Chain A
Amino acid sequence: MSLMWSWLTDGSHWHGNDGVLLRLAEHLWYSGLALGIAALIAVPLGLFVGHTGHGRWLAVNLTGALRAMPSLGLLFIAYMWLGDHLRGEGAFLYPTELVLVALAVPPILAGTYAGVEQVDAAARDAARGMGMTGRELLLKVELPCALPLLVSGIRSAALQVIATATLAAVLGLGGLGRFLLDGLATRDYGQMAGGAALVACLALLVDLLLAALQRVVVSPGLTGKTARQPRVETRQAAP
């Protein structure tokens, strides 16, 4: 414990080439990139599944299968396959991002299609009654109503991605995982514990931010209390 404090409070550890600020930025970059890509994939997919009802079986099983992937194994495999074909940073970055995206897609996908599915039938009915087309229904009614669960899915994904982005360090990249592995290698347990604490704090901060975002983005007309939807559906596995 005390080792951790002394490492964290040492000013020299925060700046410079190997410093906390840099690693924090790198960590956020790896995580943000993965979350962005995952959202780009999962949200449209989830909207489609929720709106049309097609492919639900596929979506559920894809979610389950991706959840079960052991991240470390996937990381090694991805690096062994891709590493030789990519030049520069990409050789390390692409495999890492692949794993992080695979981790982030299930919660976002599940949150999105669950969110759309549980939209009140009455609301849908009213929309149709007002003459909305399918697409208008999706974008103006279902999507806004699905937002609470969707954002909840993103929060869940963010938590796991931030916790797992530490794996980037295994491939020699930066990020907060660097402190974990370097600390392990040099027997500097203050560094290791400090790195772990930083990851936890970062995750907490991001979660709070996203919670605030959720409050801002979700229409006040929605109480946010959905019909007995067990939120566990969007809490996912992590490595």
Chain B
Amino acid sequence: MKRISLLLPRSVAVTAALAATLTLAACGGDDPLSTDTGNGDGGDGTTIHVGSANFPESVVLAEVYAKALEDAGFTVEKTLNIGSREAYLKAMTDTAELDVFPEYTGNLRLYFDEDATASAPDEVYDELVAALPDTLTVLEMAPAEDKDAVVVTQETAAEYSLTSIADLKDVAGDLVLGGPPEWKTRSTGLPGLESVYGVVFKDFRELDAGGPLTLRALRNGQIDAGNIFSTDPTVASGELVALEDPEALYASQNIVPLVRTEVLDDALEEALNAVSAALTQEELLALVNAVVADKEDPEDVAADWVDENV
């Protein structure tokens, strides 16, 4: 009898301990989505949610926007490293969880209008503006671009005398291409390469879009050609050769701030447009290099850059 009645208070104690642990955990997990960066000085202090995709360039650009907005007096909350475009676009249009995002004119336009055909920067921008839903707006675009590129090693380029994608036409049948899974079906991938250049590869490996897998695979010979972005330090340094794209299969990809229409206001536009104006190709390359090659912290790199240039 005694034993059983002792059990009740014990279980209460255990429950209490569990509850305490839970509370502690919940405290640590408060607002798990955001990394608060504090207020600006003066200004209206409205909270803006900035997001980024899950590659270093996107992260550093988002940090740049965040710093610029903070300097303009906004309170910024960041949600970085979101893996899928659909996820963050839905977060902007459907659920208003995000307000600002660094985007690329060409691919964003392609997302909303698969049949878009322009390739020059201004035309792509106009098509983008036309294709966007009302809930989204793009501000001024930067001169800087980051385009998809089909890249080969120096050796491969020398062996097959490759300078442009067109040169691949006769040799691709012996080569393996590596790229993101969506290249199997997207117009910028295998279908496009075939229809625009008549290039058909022997095999395709699903790796990542310009990421470490594709890079290593290129270097180590698992693939002969790969999808690397034009701002990647390996391309800028000349270690890898980006094949020219005379038929403009890869449209312009200017960096542009994507904003949820509802949060538009003058201070926000001014801050972000100033960033766009200052973001030249060299500046972008320097930013990416600092974060990827020098392993510096995106937040610090961004803060320094904004202080110096904007």
A36 within 8 A of B: no
**Shortest CB–CB separation between residue A178 and chain B, in angstroms?**
7
Which residue of chain B lies nearest to A178 when distances are taken between CB atoms in the complex? B206
In the complex, what residues of B have CB within 8 A of residue A92's CB?
Answer: 222
At the interface, yes or no: B221 with Cβ under 8 Å from chain A?
yes
Q: Does A91 contact B (CB under 8 A)?
A: yes
Contact with B along A157-199 (1 / 0, CB 8 A): 0000000000001011000001001101111000000000000
Known contacts being A171-B213, A172-B213, A182-B206, is A83 close to B220, with CB within 8 Å? yes
Chain A residues, CB < 8 A from B213: 79, 171-172
The chain B residue sitting closest to A18, CB to CB, is B184
- B95 in contact (CB, < 8 A): no
Question: Complex formed: what's the CA distance from A87 to B220 in Å?
Answer: 7
- Sample of 18 further A-B pairs with CB below 8 A, known A83-B216, A91-B216, A184-B83: A79-B213, A80-B212, A83-B220, A84-B216, A84-B219, A86-B220, A88-B221, A89-B222, A172-B213, A178-B181, A178-B206, A181-B181, A181-B206, A182-B181, A182-B182, A185-B182, A186-B182, A186-B184
Task: Note all chain A residues with C-beta closer than 8 A to B181.
Answer: 178, 181-182, 185-186
Which residues of B have CB within 8 Å of A86? 220
Q: Are A172 and B205 in contact (CB under 8 A)?
A: yes
Q: Digitize B204-224: 1 where CB-to-A-CB distance is under 8 Å, 0 elsewhere.
A: 011110001100110111100
7 interchain pairs, CB-CB under 8 A: A87-B220, A91-B220, A169-B206, A172-B205, A184-B83, A186-B186, A187-B86
Interface residues of A (CB under 8 A from B): 18, 79-80, 83-84, 86-89, 91-92, 169, 171-172, 178, 181-182, 184-187
Prevailing SS type, chain A contact patch: helix
Does the CB pair A186–B185 fall under 8 Å?
yes
| Chain B min CB distance to A150 (Å) | 35
A79 to B206, CA, bound (A): 16
Knowing A87-B220, A185-B180, the reply to whether A172 touches B206 (Cβ < 8 A) is yes
Q: In the assembly, what is the distance between CA of A25 and CA of B208, in Å?
A: 23
Could you say which residues of chain B place their CB within 8 Å of the CB of A91? 216-217, 220, 222
- Among A169, A172, A186, point to the contact of B217 (Cβ < 8 A): A172
B residues less than 8 Å from A169 (CB atoms): 206
Q: How far is the CA of A27 from the CA of B102 in the complex (A)?
A: 38
A75 to chain B, nearest CB (A): 11
The distance from the CB of A72 to the nearest CB of chain B, in whole angstroms, is: 13
B106 close to chain A: CB less than 8 A? no
Among B178-216, those with CB < 8 Å from A are 178, 180-182, 184-186, 205-208, 212-213, 216
For B84, list chain A residues within 8 Å (CB).
184-185, 187
Residue of B nearest to A183 (CB): B181
Interface centre among A80, A172, A184 (most CB of B within 10 A): A172
* B184 pairs with A182, CB closer than 8 A: yes
Chain A residues with Cβ below 8 Å from B180 are 185
B27-53 toward A: CB 8 Å interface, digit per residue (1/0)?
000000000000000000000000000
Against A, the Cβ 8 Å flags (1 = close, 0 = not) of B1-37 are: 0000000000000000000000000000000000000
